[in-house]
Structure formats: structure tokens, C-alpha cells
A = this chain, B = another copy of it.
Amino acid sequence: MRNRKAGYACKHCPVETTLDIIGGKWKGVILYHLMNKTCRFNEMRRLMPGISQRMLTLQLRELEKDGVIHREVYPVVPPKTEYSLTAFGETLKPIIQEMKRWGDRYEHHQEQQLEDVDQNKA
């Protein structure tokens, strides 16, 4: 999000505060992947085929600026950069985990419906 108006959430709604940090279009997914393991740049691109290189960079920079992720650059050739969650970023895990749980159940629900249609149960 970052653009919910100059930093302060109106009536300091806590959900709005949270969305100011993880509300970016791809931030949830990025955090989800970094929860499992430290990742390199192109590795993340492969994990998220839908995001452009430019967007990935921008979102990573914002997350870094907010102290959620850490960016470790190794001065080698060819370049190597690793992204990982900071301790602060770890505190967001419960949110992402709930999102994963919900998404999993929703997908199963969808599959179920498709099967029903296939078998003319619907």
C-alpha cells in the first residue's frame, strides 16, 4: 500500500496499519516464499511467474525499507544476493500462515465443485 496517506492510518485502524506494510500487490506471496527459505533473486522470479522483474525489485525494496526482509549481497562474480526474513518479518508469519490455510481450503473447495460438475452431481 504505502500510499494510504502520508504514513498515519486514519482512526489508527490496526488492520490498516498492517496493510500499510504487507498490502502491496505481491508482498504476501513474497513473504510466503521467504518463510520457507532464504531465496535468491531469480529463484523468486521462478517461484512467481506472474510478477515482472521490475515489480519484484520494487516490492523487495519496500519490504527491505520497512525492515521486514534482509538483503545480503555477496561481492562475487557472478553476483549473488540472498533475501531472508528479519526477526521483525518473522512476526508476520501468523498472518501469512492463515492466508495459506485459507487458500488451501478454498482450492479444495473449488476442486470439489469441479468434480461434482464432472459427475453431474450438481
Q: Which residues of A contact B (CB under 8 A)?
A: 1, 4-5, 10-19, 21, 23, 25, 28-29, 32, 47-50, 91-92, 94-96, 98-107
Contacts and interface: CB of A to CB of B under 8 A. Distances in A.
B98 A11 contact: no
Number of copies: 2
**By DSSP majority rule, is chain A's interface helix, strand, loop, or mixed?**
helix
A101 B93 CA distance: 12
B32 A15 contact: yes
Contacts of A103: 13-18
A99 B28 contact: no
Contacts of A21: 106
Contacts of A92: 102
